[in-house]
């Protein structure tokens, strides 16, 4: 349930809107009073949030016997909403690019904070990896698995769906290999370096990006966009790869 809430938050719903939408999913089409009881919110707040969800396309309103009812869209219809947004953005891109100032090729550095921030950073890395179909990683994977939890599972599922290969040097294999599907073993190679257990970081490298995630003193991600720095990090990785077991 927590993972569902996180995903809904990442696509633009507020915490309270998510609570109302989840309540609607439980009770089906119903009145604001019934939805407010399940959501454990007062009726006025519930009604305001229902109107907001309607404007965003997550529910519809109709009258029956002079009583207003609210009907949630089915979860699979959310994909349709996202596709519609993508289409609108594609249509607007030429106009946006007309007004775009020249962009330099200087390295770009971004800071991401918390699990939601890291999820957004991982999305950027996977999107960049779609071209070369390869990701490199090294660091303390045992710590990363504990910290990232759902984000790590989502990363793995998405990577496997996109058939993006990965080579990694980690402190240990843990139980990843045993609980991963057969396709994971086909497109994933992992070697170990026990010294990485001393680290509190994990690094991921793609064609244009390098990310460093700190895992022990707060959850932060530093993302560097630079082809040259990524190329340098690939050399560092290859040295780790040769030395690893």
Is residue 146 within 8 Å of 178, Cβ to Cβ? no
Final residue of a structural domain among 14, 45, 72: 72
pLDDT confidence of residue 179 = 55
Domain identity same for 145 and 217: yes
Angle at 87 between CA 83 and CA 93, to 5 degrees: 140
Say what the pTM is: 0.60
**Domain assignment of residue 89, yes or no:** no
Domain identity same for 60 and 113: no
**Domain assignment of residue 102, yes or no:** no
Strands 188-192 and 165-170: parallel
CATH number of the domain residue 23 falls in: 1.10.10.10
Domain identity same for 127 and 226: yes
CA distances from 43 to 4, 57, 62 (A): 24, 21, 18
pLDDT exceeds cutoff 60 at 178: no
| Closest to 106 in 3D by CA, of 231, 225, 211 | 225
- Structurally, the chain folds into a number of domains equal to 2
Domain identity same for 230 and 144: yes
- Paired with 192 in beta bridges are 170
Return the residue matching tokens 């609108």.
Answer: 88
Tens-place pLDDT, residues 188-232: 888 988 888 888 888 999 999 999 988 777 788 899 999 999 999
**Domain assignment of residue 6, yes or no:** yes
Domain identity same for 40 and 112: no
Mean pLDDT for 68-78 is 87
Q: How many CA atoms lie within 13 A of 1 on its CB side?
A: 7
**How far apart, in whole angstroms, are the C-alpha atoms of residue 204 and residue 138?**
7
pLDDT confidence of residue 181 = 65
Q: At 21, is the pLDDT very low, low, confident or very high (cuts 50, 70, 90)?
A: very high
Which one has a higher pLDDT value, 160 or 38?
Answer: 38
- Paired with 214 in beta bridges are 201, 220
Residue 209: both structure tokens together: 């990006």
DSSP line for 80-100: HHHHHHHHHHHHHHHHHHHTP
Domain identity same for 50 and 171: no
**Domain assignment of residue 214, yes or no:** yes
Boundaries of domain holding 46: 2-72
Domain identity same for 115 and 229: yes
Q: Considering only 41-50, 181-190, 218-227, which range has the smallest mean pLDDT? A: 181-190
In 10 A of CB 54, how many CB atoms? 14
Q: At 93, is the pLDDT very low, low, confident or very high (cuts 50, 70, 90)?
A: confident
**Domain assignment of residue 219, yes or no:** yes
**Domain assignment of residue 96, yes or no:** no
Give the burial class of 62: count Cβ atoms within 10 A of its Cβ; 0-12 exposed, 13-18 middle, 19 or more buried: exposed
Residue 8: both structure tokens together: 């809904």
pLDDT exceeds cutoff 90 at 151: no
Which one has a higher pLDDT value, 151 or 165?
Answer: 165
Domain identity same for 147 and 68: no
Instruction: Annotate 108-142 with b (16+ C-beta within 10 A) or e (fewer).
Output: eeeebeeeebbbebbebbbebbeeeeebbbbbbbb
Domain identity same for 117 and 231: yes
């Amino acid at each position: 349930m927590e993972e569902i809430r996180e995903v809904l938050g990442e696509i633009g719903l507020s915490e309270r809107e998510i609570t109302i939408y989840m309540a609607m999913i439980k009770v089906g089409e119903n009145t604001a009073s019934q939805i407010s009881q399940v959501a454990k919110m007062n009726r006025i707040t519930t009604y305001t949030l229902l109107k907001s969800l309607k404007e965003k396309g997550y529910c519809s309103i109709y009258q029956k016997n002079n009583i207003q009812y609210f009907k949630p869209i089915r979860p699979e219809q959310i994909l349709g909403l996202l596709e519609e947004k993508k289409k609108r953005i594609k249509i607007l891109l030429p106009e946006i690019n007309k007004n775009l100032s020249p962009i330099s090729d200087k390295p770009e550095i971004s800071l991401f904070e918390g699990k939601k921030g890291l999820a957004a950073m991982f999305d950027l890395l996977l999107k960049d990896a779609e071209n070369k179909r390869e990701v490199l990683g090294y660091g303390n994977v045992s710590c990363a698995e504990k910290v990232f939890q759902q984000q790590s599972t989502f990363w793995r599922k998405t990577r496997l769906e996109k058939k993006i290969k990965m080579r990694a040097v980690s402190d240990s294999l843990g139980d990843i290999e045993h609980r991963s599907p057969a396709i994971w073993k086909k497109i994933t190679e992992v070697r170990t370096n026990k010294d990485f257990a001393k680290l509190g970081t994990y690094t991921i490298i793609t064609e244009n990006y390098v990310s460093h995630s700190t895992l022990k003193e707060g959850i932060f991600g530093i993302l560097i966009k630079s082809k040259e720095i990524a190329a340098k990090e690939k050399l560092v990785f290859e040295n780790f790869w040769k030395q690893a077991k």
